[in-house]
Structure 1
Amino acid sequence: MLIQEVLTDIPPEEVIQRAREWFTLRMTQYAGFTEDSSDHHLKLMSEAADITIGTGTQDGRTLVRASTSRMHHEVSQFLATLAPAEEVRENVPGPGVSGAG
């Protein structure tokens, strides 16, 4: 499981809405279907992989973390819409992270 994160000034609810639109409408070949969601997280299932996106706060900004087992490039593309691509960090340490990818 690869975890990626980015800090953004976009509110958490808007991040989740953008993620829902990105992965259900934009990724037509691997369109995701919402399995679980709230104002601060979204779990999607697609034919290619599961994707989980969560938000929190850090230093007054929105911290966005995303994990997937196979759709690393697509997750990176989405996170780069929230902040400059060079700010997207990969292989973020966390529970259950194998570093595979």
Structure 2
Amino acid sequence: MRYLLLSACLALLVSSCSVYKVEVQQGNVVTQEMIDKLKPGMTRSQVRFVLGTPLITDAFHLDRWDYYYYLRPSNKNTGESQRLTVIFKNDTLVSVQNDKPGKSETQSPQS
């Protein structure tokens, strides 16, 4: 009986030592497929339909929408971030800036 109690306590102690890390995902998920749907001259509502509501709307830059995304997998200590900036002029889409690795710093939407 004594060994059974001791082994149960030891099993409880060992199982509580493992730490569970949660995957952290914040912001707007923007895929390349979504970016490819953007066309010059689209209205704000059309861009919002394709990309969703922007995470940040700056009161000082009304013609600029920023879409931020951050992902830290549960098995890693560091995460990846992505930023997409959409620029409007006269309420129509002018350019898209993507800082995703492997993409050009400033890219115009496909026509």
TM-score class normalised by the smaller sequence:
0.3 to 0.5
Q: Give 1 or 2: higher strand fraction.
A: 1
* Structure richer in helix, relative to its length: 1
Larger Rg: 2
Greater relative contact order, per chain length (Cα 8 Å cut-off, separation 6+) = 1
TM-score norm. by structure 1 comes to 0.37
Q: TM-score, normalised by structure 2?
A: 0.35
